[in-house]
Copies of this chain bind each other. A is one copy, B any other.
Amino acid sequence: MTLKTITSPERMYQWVSRAVLEGRKVGVVPTMGALHEGHLSLVDAAKAECDLVVATIFVNPTQFAAGEDLDQYPRPLENDLRHLKEGGASIAFCPAMEEIYPRGYSTYVSPPEIAAPFEGLHRPDHFRGVATIVLKLFQMVPAQVAFFGQKDYQQTLVVKKMVEDFNLPIEIRVCPILREPDGLAMSSRNVFLSDEQRGRAVAISKVLAEIEPEILRLTDHSSALKNRLTGVMETARKRLEVKVDKIHYLDVVDAQTLQSISDTTTEVVIVAAADVGDTRLLDNRLVKIR
Binding site for B on A (CB under 8 A): 9, 13, 17, 20-21, 105-114, 128, 131, 135-136, 139-140, 142, 161-162, 165-169
Contact = CB atoms under 8 A, between A and B. Distances in A.
A165 B165 CA distance: 19
A21 B144 CA distance: 14
A259 to B, nearest CB: 12
A165 B105 contact: yes
7 contacts: A17-B169, A107-B109, A107-B166, A108-B109, A110-B128, A136-B166, A139-B169
B166 A106 contact: no
A107 B161 contact: yes
Nearest to A161: B107
A165 B20 CA distance: 24
B128 A142 contact: no
Max count, chain B CB within 10 A of own CB: residue among A9, A17, A142, A169: A169
A135 B135 CA distance: 11
Nearest to A135: B166
Contacts of A165: 105-107, 136
A140 B113 contact: no
Contacts of A162: 107
Contacts of A142: 169
B112 A110 contact: no
Contacts of A21: 20-21
A114 B21 CA distance: 35
Contacts of A136: 165-167
Given A136-B167, A140-B167, A167-B140, A110 B108 contact: yes
Contact of A9 (B13, B108, B167): B167
B107 A13 contact: no
Contacts of A112: 106-107
A106 B167 CA distance: 13
A68 B104 CA distance: 32
Given A9-B167, A108-B110, 17 more contacts: A13-B167, A20-B21, A105-B165, A106-B165, A107-B109, A107-B111, A107-B131, A107-B161, A107-B166, A108-B109, A109-B109, A110-B128, A135-B166, A136-B166, A136-B167, A139-B169, A140-B167
